[in-house]
Amino acid sequence: MRDSLYMRVVILSLCISILINGYTKAGEDKSNTSDLLKIYKVDKKVSDFPEVGDLSTPEAAYATIMRDYMALGASTSEWSDISVKKVSGTERTNVSDEKAQSYLNARIIEVQIYKERSARVFAEIENNGIIGFDQRSLFLYQGRWLNSGHDGSAPTLEEARETFARKCERILKTNLELVGEATESRWNRSPVSDPQAYLKPYVDFLQKEGREPNEFMMDAFKKYELVTMGEVHNRPDYWAFNTELIRDSKFAELVGTIYLELPLNHQENINSFLSLNTCKKEIVINMLRDMMDLGWPCQPTLDFFTAVWEVNQNLSTKNKLRILLVDMERPWEKIQKREDWRKYNVDRDSYMAQNILKDRKSQEGKQRHGFFITGMGHAMEEFFYADFKTPHKSAGWHLKQALGEQLFTVFQHAPVMTNQGEISGRLALGLIDTAFEQLDDRPVIFTLQSGPFGELAFDGMPDADIYGKFSDGYDAYLYLLPLESEIFSPLIEGFYSKEYVDEINRRNIFMQGSPLDENISTSEGFTAMRSEFWGKPRSWIGKMGPEDAWQEGDQWKTKIREKRLASVTYEQLTAELDKIFKGIREIDPEKSGDAWEKKFGFNYLTMSNWSGMYKWWLDVTKKHPLESVKYGELNRNKEGLPQIEVTVTLQGNITFSRVFLFEYGALWDGWQVQYGLDMHLDPQWRNLPEKKN
């Protein structure tokens, strides 16, 4: 709650500052503008600046870069003199007179400075007869504004500004890391001195305001024109809940249309599926095969479609449920090369929102409301980027602008994860999980528009660099079961048929530039590959850190690591080594290196090229099986990390010793073994697989 108060003060001060002061011109006193973001106009051409190297201001540095580096085709070594990142290279670039003149004629329109250190210069520039807005980043280091990157030319100044807003925090942190400076904590969450007292308001709120999920959702469907379910994809229990909702007799009385994040070009096929007297699941499966390059083989999604069809069998024609697909088209039969794909590649958030709004308008006067199921990143309503004034324009944001209070958005409990599935902890450092545990993890849903949960800073999608409270993005919070109990959706049986795998291979050739690997180019091989995680426990299990990390604040990883490093025992580390050498003894030539690591449950970091390392051990142990392993003593390297020298003997009288290093991983609360297996990099041993007995 202290975090959200700080955030509100920052947002309020920024908004008041911009509304009252507007822009300040270069050289004017900027003390009245926000400390977070300073903006001023320049309106000068590069050629208007003195012909001297000047890095004292962002605009002067930009002029110097365009005149002395871009227009002259400077070498990479020369660029290093005025850049944060140091590179080498003496080759210069040939720059035409016309191109050089366009650099000199670039008109600097505006400068934005984020947190005093990171600047973006926006300049109007002509390129091949087209006017655009150049976007160059600069970083203040030791009194000089250094070049720190370039985002090319944006078609409009508005788009250029939005690009910087989206990236300003990441750019700043990257530059600070490059120059060896510490980066500040994003959330400023302090250690909790009295955990019981801190937790009590959250538990009390759940006991008082937490409701049975089905009943709560029916009330929402009745009250709001559009209810959005913001999900993490492929969760069987949450899709089962969606299915339970539509099977409720009240649902069809309240909701007429279900909107789904699936390819719109299959709409006629889904209309046909719902109108037939028999449930032809293959129609839905073919649609799911067109979702993404590799398809969407989610059995619970198919079960949901089947349930809608079954419910409709008992409804009158007037009251039957509709399913509307609203995501970008993916007509793979029309895509023969990568260029064909680009014309279907749209802003998916805007596209989905506009499709829904168009349909809602067509439903005016027909009473029944809508239900939109989409990813939580698309669902969020009103979050801002790090400048606290540029909105993150998700589908939910677009819908909110049109529907206002008639939009109601539900957030499903999840870990902190990026759009690519990288896990970096628990929401609110496990505070929310801890509160649910106090209620015996029973399913519950509650409002975020009142009470302490809505006041928590939203930390669910770190890669999006978005800011706000939970209540800014969502209206309610749904919890069904502990994250540790979840599995990834099971595969639809027969989804990867021979014909479909051949189609995936065709897509892979022009989308990725190469055919599928031979071992996954068959129906059986591809199904086996996908089955490594579909239908299995979620990959986030064991990677979220402890539930009580909130008690330590934002420095929880460092604090826990320090404790584990101080208390580590020889037995703990040799237990990890035992897993590795058990894996080597049972190495399977039919399995990939990743499967090897997963099967034996160890966490290993190689210096370079995991697949090369695995192949070395695979080839060597075919001829020279592992005979014995001897562990040396536990000691520390100069950084204080524990290490153990291991002597390995293979059949054939082959013996070598390697030092294994150990690092503690807070997210999985365990030890990572490092470097000792990297025989493929050692000049003395890397050719051993080719040597004869």
CB under 8 Å, gap of 24 or more: what pairs does 551-556 form? 551/191, 551/192, 551/195, 552/191, 552/429, 553/189, 553/190, 553/191, 553/192, 553/429, 554/185, 554/186, 554/187, 554/188, 554/189, 554/190, 554/429, 555/185, 555/191, 556/429, 556/666
Residue-wise pLDDT tens digits, 439-458:
999 999 999 999 999 999 99
CA-to-CA distance for 24 and 15, rounded, in angstroms? Answer: 15
Smallest CA-to-CA distance from 141 within 189, 229, 215, 82 is with 82
Smallest CA-to-CA distance from 380 within 496, 525, 477 is with 477
Fold for 214-485, please state it.
Rossmann fold (3.40.50)
**What is the mean predicted confidence (pLDDT) over 646-653?**
96
Residue-wise pLDDT tens digits, 407-440:
999 999 999 999 888 899 999 999 999 999 999 9
**What is the mean predicted confidence (pLDDT) over 148-162?**
95
The whole-number pLDDT of residue 13 equals 36
Is the CB of residue 445 less than 8 Å from the CB of residue 216? yes
Cα Rg for the chain, rounded, in angstroms? Answer: 29
Residue-wise pLDDT tens digits, 41-63:
999 999 999 999 999 999 999 99
DSSP state of 393: -
Kindly list the distances between the CA atom of residue 203 and the CA atoms of 207, 544, 636, in Å, as whole numbers in the listed order. 6, 22, 44
The whole-number pLDDT of residue 29 equals 31
For residues 656 and 610, the model is more confident at 656
List Cβ neighbours of 22 (8 Å cut-off, separation of 6 or more): none
Length of the chain (residues): 693
Q: Given a cut of 70, is residue 14 above it in pLDDT?
A: no
The whole-number pLDDT of residue 302 equals 98
The whole-number pLDDT of residue 611 equals 86
At CA 311, angle to CA 309 and CA 317, rounded to 5? 85
Q: What percent of the chain lies above the pLDDT cut of 90?
A: 80
Determine whether domain 568-690 maps to CATH 3.40.50.170: no
The whole-number pLDDT of residue 25 equals 33
Q: pTM of this prediction?
A: 0.83
List Cβ neighbours of 282 (8 Å cut-off, separation of 6 or more): none
* Sheet order of strands, 626-636 included: 604-605, 670-674, 654-665, 642-650, 626-636
The whole-number pLDDT of residue 23 equals 33
Residue-wise pLDDT tens digits, 281-313:
999 999 999 998 899 999 999 999 999 999 999
What stretches of 269-401 adopt beta strand conformation (E)? Answer: 322-327, 369-375, 384-385
Sorted by where each begins, the domain ranges of the chain are 2-178, 214-485, 498-530, 568-690
Residue 389 — pLDDT band, cuts 50, 70, 90? confident
List Cβ neighbours of 569 (8 Å cut-off, separation of 6 or more): none
Residue-wise pLDDT tens digits, 541-554:
988 999 999 999 99
Residue-wise pLDDT tens digits, 177-205:
999 998 887 888 999 999 999 999 999 99
Smallest CA-to-CA distance from 534 within 491, 594, 492 is with 491
Q: Given a cut of 50, is residue 18 above it in pLDDT?
A: no
Smallest CA-to-CA distance from 61 within 155, 141, 115, 169 is with 141
Residue-wise pLDDT tens digits, 328-341:
999 999 999 888 88
Per the DSSP assignment, residues forming a β-bridge with 671 are 664
The whole-number pLDDT of residue 691 equals 65
List Cβ neighbours of 489 (8 Å cut-off, separation of 6 or more): 234, 235, 236, 239, 298, 299, 300, 301, 534, 535
Per the DSSP assignment, residues forming a β-bridge with 373 are 229, 260
Residue-wise pLDDT tens digits, 314-327:
999 999 999 999 99
- φ, ψ of residue 458 in degrees (nearest 5): -75, 125
Average pLDDT, the chain: 91
Handedness of CA 639, 644, 645, 651 (dihedral sign): negative
The whole-number pLDDT of residue 692 equals 54
Q: Given a cut of 70, is residue 26 above it in pLDDT?
A: no
Residue at token pair 């719902």: 274
